[in-house]
Chain A
Amino acid sequence: MEQYIVEMRNIVKRFPEVLANDHITFKVKAGEVHALLGENGAGKTTLMNILYGIYSADEGEIYINGRKVQISSPRDAINLGIGMVHQHFMLIDTLTVLENIALSLEIPFWKPLDKIRIKVEEVMKKYGLKVDLDAKIWQLSTGEKQRVEIIKIICRGAQILILDEPTSVLTPTETKELFKFLRKMASEGKAIIFVTHKLKEVMEVSDRVTVLRKGKVIATLETSETNERMLAKMMVGRDVIFELEKTPSIIGDPILKVEKLRVLNDRGTIAVKDVSFTVHSGEIYGIAGVAGNGQRELVEAIVGLRRKISGKIFINGIEIEKLNPRDIGEMEIAFIPEDRRMGYIPNMSVAENLILRSYNKAPFSKWMLLNYNAIKEYAQKLIDEYKIVTPNENVMAKLLSGGNLQRMILARELTIGKKLIIAVHPTYGLDVGSTEYVRKLLLKRRNEGSAVLLISEDLDEILALSDRIAVMFEGEIIGEVEAEKANIEKIGLMMAGVKEGE
C-alpha cells in the first residue's frame, strides 16, 4: 500500500451554528494533485485551516509522513512542510515582496536580506515565477500577489501545498500557467491539495478528487474515473441542470448610457479610462474581467458613490452629474454591491434592513416617525416572495446565512429597482441553490424589460446570462461581442489585455 504523506482521520469541527467537519477522513499521496471539491460552506476551507493550524479540530488525528502530529499554529504547520496559499491573500501591503517572503523564514536579527534574496531569485528562476522583489505589495496586481504567495511557500520548503480557490483571481491564461506549475510540483514528489468548487478545473488538473458536502466526505475518486455530471451530483446531492433557459427578449430603449467616463481610484490614479457603453431595457450587458481593473470604480461612479472627473452618464436619457443616492430610488435603479458587507447592517433586524432605501417615504414613515406596522407587513411580504429563510422579520441580519443575506439584499433592491439593475458579483460565495435562484431572477427581470448591467469575474456566469459581453482591463473596455459569437479563448485573451485583432 502506498504511503500517504497527509492523513487526516475522523476530523470533527463544530462552530456554534453548524457542524463544519463531520468525521472527515482525507488522505493525500506524495506526487499527486488532489482536488478538494465542494460548494461554498461545505467545509473545505475549514478542513484546510485545521491542517494549517489556524483552527484546531474538536476530534480526530493528523498524520504527516506516517507520524502523528499536533498542529496548533501555522508555525507548526510550516515546520512540518505544509504551505498554504489562502483565498484572501495573507500579505502585508506596506512591506516589499522580499520582506513578505522573509517574514516566515528564519531571519537574522539584523535585517540584511541578501542571503534570502539570493535564495528567492533561485526559486523564481527554477519555476519561472517572475515578480519584482522590491515592489511594495499594494502596487502589485492580484496575479502577481498570488505568485508571491507561491514563492513564499516554496522558499519555506513546503512539501505539501494547499491552494484555496486560487483561480478566482486569475485570467484563463494565468490559470493555465498555474496548472502547468502545479503539475511540475507534483512531478517533483510534492503533494498538492487544490481546493475548489469549479468542476472543470477538477477535471483538468487533478489526479484524484474528494467531494465534500455539508461537512461530510461523499466520495474520494480517481479523476479519470469520473466526470463533471457525476461530481456535480455528489457535490449538490441532486441532479443539476446546467443550462439556463435564455430566450431572446425584446430590446428596448437605452436606459443606461456611459460616454467616455473617467474616474479616479482611492490612490488618485485613473481607474476608469474613457469608458463608453450602452445598456438597453430587456438586455443583460455583462462586463467580464478580473477584479481590480476598474469595475468597482465604474459602478460607484454610476450610482453616485464616487465622483467622475470627466465624461457623461445618462440614465433614462437624462444626463446625471452626480447622483444623490436618494435619487436612485426615484429612478428605479437597483444596486447589488460586490461586497455584501456594504449592502446591509448586521446588527439591525431583517425588516430594518429591508427598508434601508425607503425608510423616509410613506408608508414607512410620516413626519419623521417610523410606522412599524407598515414595515412589518412589507418585510413579511418580501420574506415570502424571495423565500428568505429566517424565523421572523425581527431577527438580526447578521444571523442569516450568505445565501439568505443575498436574497435579502436582492429583495430590497429589486422591489424598488425595476428599470435598471446593476449587479456586481451577485453570486459570489453562494451555494448552488442560491446561485441558481439569483441567475434565474436576473433573467426574469430582463425578460420583463429591466436593463441589467452585470459585472462578474465568473466567466461562466457572464456567458450564461449576458446578451452582450464586454471585457474590462486596466480601466478600459477592451472589446465587446454578442453572446452567441463569444468564445472563451478570445474573452480570456481580452481579460489578459490582448485587444481584438492582435
Chain B
Amino acid sequence: MVIKIRFERRVSPPKYLSILYVIISILSAFFVSGFIFKAYGINPILAYRIIFTHAYGSPSGIYETIVKAIPLILCSVGLSLAFKAEMWNIGAEGQLLLGAIMATGLALFTPTPPSIIVPVMFIGGFMAGALWAVIPAILKVLLNVNEVITTMMMNYIAIELVRYLIYGPWRGAKEWGYPITDEIPDAAKLICIPGTRIHIPTLAIAISTAFIVYLIIMRTTLGYEIRVAGENPEAARYAGISYLKISILSMIISGGLAGIAGVGEIAGIHYRLRYPESISMGYGFTSIIVAWLGRLNPISIIIASIFFGGLLVGGYVMKMILGLPVAVVYVFNGITLMFILVGGVLSQYKIKLRG
C-alpha cells in the first residue's frame, strides 16, 4: 500500500510557527539524545538536570556559558552574511585558528608596544581570518571550485599549522617540553569581568557586530546589493552589482569575524597557543547551526549562541561528572540540526498523506 506524500506550500506562514518548530526541534533532539544516555546506563532526566543547572543555573555556569557564546556570536554573524551571499563557508573553524595564530605571533614575537598590542592583535586576527576565507572565495568566483570542500580543507590545514607551530618553532621555552607556547605578555591579555573569564573587549565587539551587520544588510546600499546578489545573481549583474565583489567581500568579513573570535580565545582565555582542539571545540560547526537558526537577526543569534554555548559547557560537565565523552555535544548538535531542517520544511509546507 503506497502512501503518497503531497506538499502544499503555505501562503504566508505565520511567524510564531517557525519559532514553535524550533522549540519542538530542540525538544525532540533532547528526547532522542536521551537514548544515548540510556545506552550508557545513565538516567537522561538526571543528566539533563545536571547540564542545565551547571550551564544556566549558577552564576559561574552562566559566566562560562557567556564565554562560550562570544566566539559563537562572532562566527555566526559572519556565517549568516556569507550564507546570505550564497557562499557556503564551512571553514569558520580554520579561520578562527588563524586569528589565534596571528594573535599569539604578534604578542610573543613582535616588538609591538604594549599600549597598542590589543588593537593590533584584533586587526591582525581579522586579517588572518579574512585571508584564510578569501582563498576559497577567489577559487570559487574565478574557477567555480566548490567552496564547501575548499573551506573544509582549509580547516584541516589550519589545524596542522597550529600543531606544527606548537611542536616546532613556537614551542615554549619555559614549558618543560609540553606542546604549547609561552604565555603572552600581560599587556596583551584582555580585561575580564572580575571573577569570571568573560573577556570584555571581544564580547563588546561580538554584540555590536551582530547589530551593525544587521543594520548594514537591511539599511544600506551595500546590504541591498548583497541581498540581491544572493537571491538572483543574474538580476544583480543586470543592476550593475558585481557578484565578484559581493562574494569576496562577504567572505572577507566572515573569515575576519572568525579570526577575531580566535584572537579573543587566545588573548582572553588561554593566553597561549595550544592544541587546536582546546582552542576551538567545534565553534566552527556549532556556529553553522546558530547561523542557520538566527539568519542575521542579531537577537536570535545572541539567544541561540547562549543556548548552544550552554550546551558546550554542559558537555564538559557530562565528562567530569558522568563520564560521558565530550562528543555527546556533537551528537546533540547533529540531531538538533536535522530536526531544525525538518521543522523548517514543516513550517513552509503543509504535508498531506494519502493512502
Contact A335 B221 (CB under 8 A): no
Contact A370 B11 (CB under 8 A): no
Contact A348 B237 (CB under 8 A): no
Contact A325 B219 (CB under 8 A): no
In the complex, A278 has a CB within 8 A of chain B: no
Name the residue on B nearest A352 (C-beta): B224
CB of B323 to closest CB in A, whole Å: 48
Contact A348 B227 (CB under 8 A): yes
Neighbour of A325 across the interface among B221, B222, B238, B354, CB < 8 A:
B238
In the complex, B175 has a CB within 8 A of chain A: no
Neighbour of B239 across the interface among A72, A357, A370, A372, CB < 8 A:
A357
Contact B10 A16 (CB under 8 A): yes
In the complex, A344 has a CB within 8 A of chain B: yes
Neighbour of B221 across the interface among A346, A370, A372, CB < 8 A:
A370
CA of A357 to CA of B236, assembled, Å: 10
CB of A502 to closest CB in B, whole Å: 39
Neighbour of A368 across the interface among B220, B227, B235, CB < 8 A:
B220
Name the residue on A nearest B241 (C-beta): A325
In the complex, B231 has a CB within 8 A of chain A: yes
In the complex, A17 has a CB within 8 A of chain B: yes
Residues of A contacting B245 with CB < 8 Å?
none
Q: B1-40 toward A: CB 8 Å interface, digit per residue (1/0)?
A: 0001010111100000000000000000000000000000
Query: A16-B9, A345-B232, A369-B219 are known contacts. Are A325 and B237 too (CB-CB below 8 A)?
Result: yes
CB of B68 to closest CB in A, whole Å: 33
Contact A325 B4 (CB under 8 A): no
Name the residue on A nearest B239 (C-beta): A356
CB of B174 to closest CB in A, whole Å: 50
Residues of B contacting A372 with CB < 8 Å?
219
In the complex, A360 has a CB within 8 A of chain B: yes
Contact B222 A356 (CB under 8 A): no
CB of A323 to closest CB in B, whole Å: 10
In the complex, B318 has a CB within 8 A of chain A: no
In the complex, B177 has a CB within 8 A of chain A: no
Contact B9 A370 (CB under 8 A): no
Residues of A contacting B4 with CB < 8 Å?
56, 72
In the complex, B228 has a CB within 8 A of chain A: yes
Name the residue on B nearest A343 (C-beta): B235
Contact B228 A345 (CB under 8 A): yes
Query: A16-B9, A17-B11, A348-B227 are known contacts. Are A369 and B220 too (CB-CB below 8 A)?
Result: yes
Name the residue on B nearest A371 (C-beta): B219
How many residues in B have their beta carbons less than 8 Å from beta carbons of A?
Answer: 22
CB of A55 to closest CB in B, whole Å: 10
Name the residue on A nearest B223 (C-beta): A370
Residues of A contacting B220 with CB < 8 Å?
365, 368-370
In terms of DSSP, what is the predominant structure of the interface of chain A?
loop
Tell me which residues from 32 to 87 in chain A have a Cβ below 8 Å from any Cβ of chain B.
56, 72
CA of A401 to CA of B72, assembled, Å: 42
Query: A345-B228, A346-B231, A348-B227 are known contacts. Are A368 and B221 too (CB-CB below 8 A)?
Result: yes
CA of A459 to CA of B74, assembled, Å: 58
Residues of B contacting A360 with CB < 8 Å?
221
Query: A16-B9, A360-B221 are known contacts. Are A348 and B228 too (CB-CB below 8 A)?
Result: yes
Contact B235 A342 (CB under 8 A): yes
In the complex, A481 has a CB within 8 A of chain B: no
Tell me which residues from 368 to 404 in chain A have a Cβ below 8 Å from any Cβ of chain B.
368-370, 372, 399
CB of A261 to closest CB in B, whole Å: 20
Contact B11 A16 (CB under 8 A): yes
In the complex, A314 has a CB within 8 A of chain B: no
Residues of B contacting A347 with CB < 8 Å?
231
In the complex, A126 has a CB within 8 A of chain B: no
CA of A343 to CA of B238, assembled, Å: 8
Residues of A contacting B239 with CB < 8 Å?
325, 356-357, 359
In the complex, B355 has a CB within 8 A of chain A: no
Given A17-B11, A344-B232, A346-B231, 7 additional A-B pairs, CB 8 A: A345-B228, A346-B232, A348-B228, A352-B224, A360-B221, A365-B221, A370-B221
29 contacts between A and B (CB under 8 A): A16-B8, A16-B10, A16-B11, A17-B11, A56-B6, A72-B4, A305-B237, A305-B238, A324-B240, A325-B238, A325-B240, A341-B232, A342-B234, A342-B238, A343-B238, A345-B227, A345-B232, A346-B232, A348-B227, A348-B231, A357-B239, A359-B221, A359-B239, A365-B220, A368-B220, A368-B221, A370-B219, A370-B221, A370-B224
Pairs of residues from A and B, 3 with the lowest C-beta to C-beta distance, nearest first: A326-B240, A325-B240, A342-B234
